[in-house]
Amino acid sequence: MAKIAVIPKTARTQNKKVRVAAYCRVSTDHNDQVNSYDAQVRYFSGLYSNSKTEVLVDIYADEGISGTSVEKRTEFGRLMEDCRAGKIDRVITKSISRFARNTKDCLQYIRELKGLGITVYFEKENIDTARLSDEMMITVMGGLAQEESQSISNNVRWTFQRAMASGTLRHARIPYGYLKDDKTGNLVIDPEKAMIVRRIFDMYIGGMGIKRIAVQLNEEGIPSPTGIQWNNITINKMLRQEKYIGDTLWQKTYSEFMGKKYQTNYGQQTKYYLRDTHPAIISREDFAKVAEIKKKQAAPKGELIVSPFRKKLICGKCGHSYSSSNYLNNLSWHCGFRNNVPAPCDNITVRDRTLHFAFRAMCDKLHTHGAKIFGTCIHELKRLHKAQDNNTDEATQVRKEIAELKDKKHRLSKLLTKHFIEPEQYSAQVYEIDAQIRMLNRKLEKSPEKKDPITLRLEELAEIFENYDGSEKAQAVVMETAVQKIMVCEDGTIHFQLLDGLEFVERIETYEGH
C-alpha cells in the first residue's frame, strides 16, 4: 500500500517590508530650518511611520551644497556600501540635483544600483528607476542638474574674482619663505626660509646657473619646498615668483567646470596683479636683475623647429607634452617630463618622419572609409535624437492612439469570426482604421529633425576627409581643424584623437622602416 506523507499546515509567510534609505544634502546654514538635518529626519520618518509595506532603514545626509564630485560626499559613499552589502532595497531622494550634479556619475550609480536590484525614486521629477523607460529621462534631468551646478560654480567663481580685484582674497597656498598669520590670514615672513630665498637670488645674480644652485642646496642638505630634492623646476619657479617682491598675481591658472584643473592661464581668464599685498623678501631691483638675466639667456640660439605636431603631441604615460630634439638632422620627439626631474618619464621616443607616415596613413584610410565611419556615427546620433523626440508627451499620445486603433481592429476581427458583423462592414471599418494608423505613423515620422553641434561637426569631418587629396595643404587643414591631440603610448601606438572623442590608432612599428 502506498505511503502518504502528511505535511502539517503552516502559517503563510508574511511578505517582508521594503527597506528604504533616504539620501539628502543638508544645509550648513543654522538659519536654514527647511533644509536642516532635523527637518530631513522628520520629513522622511513621517513618510514611512505608518507604512505597512516599507520601512525606513537610515537617512544619509551630506552637508553643504557642493555635489559636483561623489568623492567629497562621505555619506553617499556609506549609502553605496550599505547597498552593496544588501541592507537596502530602495533609495529615495528629493531630486536628481540632490543625488548628483554630474550626469555621468548619476547614471553610473543608478546602473550599479539597478544591477543590485535596488530602485531609486526622485520625488521632484517623479522618476522611478523601476520603470525601464526612465533612463532617457534621467539623462536629460541629469544634464539639467549639471547646468544648475555649473551656474553655482560660475557664481562662486565670480565671487572669487571680485575678491581678487578688490584685494580681499587670502592666499590659499603659502609660498616658500612665508607663513600665514592665524589672526589676519595675511602672509608674514618666515625668517629662516627667507634667508634661503635671498641666497638663491644672490647666487643667480652672481652668475651661478639654476642647475648648479639646486646641486649646491642638495649637497648642504637644505629641505626643499616640495619635500624632495631641489631641482631646476623649483628654482626656476622661485626666481619668477612675484610674491617675493610683495606683489600678488591672481589667476595664473584656472580650471573649467567638470574639466581639467589648474590649466595655465594664457589669457583665457582675466588676471589680477596687486602691488604691496604683503611684506617683500626680495627687492624690486634684484627681481628685475634676475628677469634681465633670464631674458638674455632665453635669446634664440638657432632656428625654431616648426612642426605641425608641436603642442598637439602628448605623452600617453604621464600626460605631459612631447618635446623635439634635432641631433645630426634627425628630428625626434620625446616626453618633456624627463630632464632635471626626480622621477623622469621613460615613455618611448618617436621619429618625426614616423609621425608623418602614420599621420598620412590615418588620413588616407579616412579618405577611403570615412564616409562609412562618419555616416554610421551620424546615423546613430540621428536615431538617438529621434528616440528623444518620440519620448515627448505629444509622441506618447500619438502612440497611445495607434495602440487603441490596433486594439479596435483586433476586436473587429473577433466579431467577424463569431459572425456578429458582416464582412463588408468589417472591411469598411478596417480600411478606415488602417488609414488613421498610417496618418498617425506619418505624424511620428515627420517630427522635426534636430542637428546638434556634434552631428554638424561630424558632417564637417566627413567633408574634410572626403576632399583630402594627400597634399601638404590638405594635411594642414586636417591637423588644424580635425586633430585635437596626438597621444604616444608606451605600447608603441600613436592615437590620433579627432573632434568629439573620435580616435584612430596607428602602430609605430608599421612605419619605422620607411
pTM score, whole prediction = 0.35
Q: Which helix (H) or strand (E) holds 207?
A: none
Segment 280-286 long-range contacts (CB within 8 Å, at least 24 positions apart): 280/244, 280/245, 280/246, 281/177, 281/178, 281/189, 281/194, 281/197, 281/198, 281/244, 281/245, 282/197, 282/198, 282/201, 282/244, 282/245, 283/245, 284/245, 286/201, 286/202, 286/205
Angle in degrees, 0-180, between the axes of helices 103-115 and 74-84, rounded to the nearest 10: 20
- For the chain, give every domain's residue range: 18-154, 178-297, 302-371+468-514, 391-445
Q: Which CATH fold topology does 178-297 show? A: Hect, E3 ligase catalytic domain fold (3.90.1750)
d(CA 173, CA 104): 31
- In this prediction, residue 209 carries a pLDDT of 85
- What tens digit of pLDDT does each residue of 105-158 get? 777 788 889 889 999 888 877 778 777 554 555 555 555 555 555 555 555 555
- In this prediction, residue 102 carries a pLDDT of 63
357 alpha-carbon distance from chain centroid: 33
Residue with cell 608623418: 356
- In this prediction, residue 22 carries a pLDDT of 92
- In this prediction, residue 11 carries a pLDDT of 41
d(CA 162, CA 166): 6
CATH class of 391-445: mainly alpha
Contact (Cβ atoms closer than 8 angstroms) between residue 250 and residue 164? yes
> Was domain 18-154 assigned CATH 3.40.1010.10?
no
Contact (Cβ atoms closer than 8 angstroms) between residue 62 and residue 25? yes
Max intra-chain CA distance, the chain: 117
Residues in the chain: 514
Q: If DSSP codes are grouped into helix, strand and coil, which group holds residue 101?
A: coil
How high is the mean pLDDT in each 10-residue block of the chain (514 residues)? 52 67 72 61 81 89 62 85 94 81 72 88 80 53 53 56 57 79 81 91 88 88 83 85 81 53 57 78 90 72 65 87 76 78 80 89 88 80 62 69 82 79 83 84 63 74 86 86 89 87 84 64
d(CA 203, CA 212): 10
- In this prediction, residue 308 carries a pLDDT of 82
